[in-house]
Structure formats: C-alpha cells, structure tokens
Homo-oligomer: A and B are copies of this chain.
Amino acid sequence: MTDFTLDCFLESGNAYKAALMLELCGADWAPRRIAFFSGQTRSDEYKALNIMGEAPVLTHHKVDGDVVLSQSGAILDYLSREFDRFGPANDGERREILRWILWDNHKLTSYTATARFMSLFQNKGEDPITKFFAARAANAWKVLDTHLQSRDFVATGHPTIADLSLCGYLFWPDQIGMDTAKHPHIAAWLDRIAALPGFKRPEELMPSGKDPATATA
C-alpha cells in the first residue's frame, strides 16, 4: 500500500491541487477514483468519509492510525508540514499563505469552478447564473493578475501552497474561458509553476470521474 491515498477525479481542480502537491513532494501516493458524475460524493458511504460531500479526501496511512482529511487547503497545509515543502519560512509568510488560500476558496476557485461546471458539464453556458459566476471569477482573475504584476509567486518570494491552491483550475484556460493574453501576469506565473521539478498536468495524475460508458459524451 502507498503512504497516501487521494480520493479524487480528473475533472476536479480542487483534487488537482492536492495531487500536484503530492507529486511535487515526491510522495508515495495513489489516486482512488471518485465516480463523481454518477453521484458518488452524494452517497451516504462517501458522506461517512467526508460529511462535506466533497472531493478530494486525503488518507495518510500511518502505523498508529490513518489521518483522513478533506478540504484542499487543509490537505496542502498538512502535506507542507509532512514534507517541509512549499510552506512558510516565518510567521509573516504563514499569514500571507493562509490569507491567499482563504481568498482562493472564497473568491477565485469558488466562482471559477462553479462557472466551469455549469458551462462545461451542464451545458448552461448561456444561463444568467453561469454568467454571474463567470463575471465574479473574472473579477478574481483581475485581482490576481494585478497582484502578480510585481512578484513571481503569490504569497512569498518562493512557490508555496498558496500558488498550488490558486492554480487549481487555471491550467484549463479554455475550459474556464480565461483569455491568457489579457492576464499576462497570471500566464507567466503559471509558466513558473509548470517549470517546477516534477510538475504534471491533471490529466497525468488522476482518472476521470465520468463512467466509462459516458466518458466520451
């Protein structure tokens, strides 16, 4: 058995945040496929694992008992301590990292992921609700692009879990409708993340959450 199991599926950028971190840290880990599109996260069995009914869930298999953890930001924080990678060098950096991870969850990923889900997987691209989320996502991208104008990474001078959280959905510009030419500082920052040793794209790390019969739909 591997040291870590990640309940995840390819289409989830939140799962990608954790999968990418595991990979960049050189962890001994394996994905465990969530059949998201046939409703697995809404099942009683899954809710017993994670009452929030969300992906991803990390299990760290330890001799003195498993650590089971949900919420990508909490998983990133846990792994950064376990591997001593992509974490803060001091208290000020710790505060900045936490602040940007919270903002990502509240504003950037939250709106970006919902707009993408509704347009890409529910074919509701023209729905006013989708457009509302897309507009809020675009506001968040603008804040991030402005912030990155004068720095290489989001929270500190070096790459941290704040970067790995914020980038979760942004390597899919076509799927989220982001014109990278209009967000040059985000584009350059994504290039810096993609240049990290061990970087892989979502497709290289996780199985699809679509059932085989509908995977080509």
Q: Which residues of A contact B (CB under 8 A)?
A: 51-53, 67, 69-74, 77-78, 92, 95, 98-99, 101-103, 105-107, 109-110, 128-129, 132, 143, 146-147
Provide the residues of chain B in CB contact with A73, threshold 8 Å. 98, 102
Identify which of B67, B77, B95 contacts A78 (C-beta below 8 A).
Answer: B95
Residue picked from A69, A72, A99, A107, most chain B C-beta under 10 Å: A99
Report the minimal beta-carbon distance from A149 to chain B, rounded to whole angstroms: 10
What are 12 A-B interface contacts by the 8 Å CB criterion? Answer: A51-B146, A51-B147, A53-B143, A67-B95, A70-B99, A74-B95, A78-B95, A102-B102, A102-B105, A106-B106, A128-B128, A129-B132
Min Cβ gap A34→B in Å is: 18
- Contact call A143/B78, Cβ cutoff below 8 A: no
Select from chain B the residue with minimum beta-carbon distance to A53. Answer: B143
How many copies of this chain sit in the oligomeric assembly?
A: 2
- Chain B residues near A51 (CB-CB < 8 A): 143, 146-147
Task: Verify B69–A99 contact, CB threshold 8 A.
Answer: yes
**5 more A-B contacts (CB under 8 A) besides A52-B103, A53-B143, A74-B102?**
A52-B143, A73-B98, A74-B98, A101-B102, A106-B109
- How long is the Cα–Cα vector from A210 to B197 in the complex, in angstroms? 51
- CB pair A98 B77 closer than 8 Å: yes
Hey, which chain B residues are within 8 Å of A147, CB to CB?
Answer: 51
Closest to A52 in B: B103
Question: Does the CB pair B95–A69 fall under 8 Å?
Answer: yes
| Closest-CB distance, A141 to chain B (whole angstroms) | 13
Q: Are A110 and B99 CB-contacts (below 8 A) given A128-B128, A129-B132, A143-B53?
A: no
Shortest Cβ distance from A4 into chain B, in angstroms? 15
* CB nearest neighbor in B for A69: B95
How far does the alpha carbon of A101 sit from the alpha carbon of B74 in the complex, in Å?
10
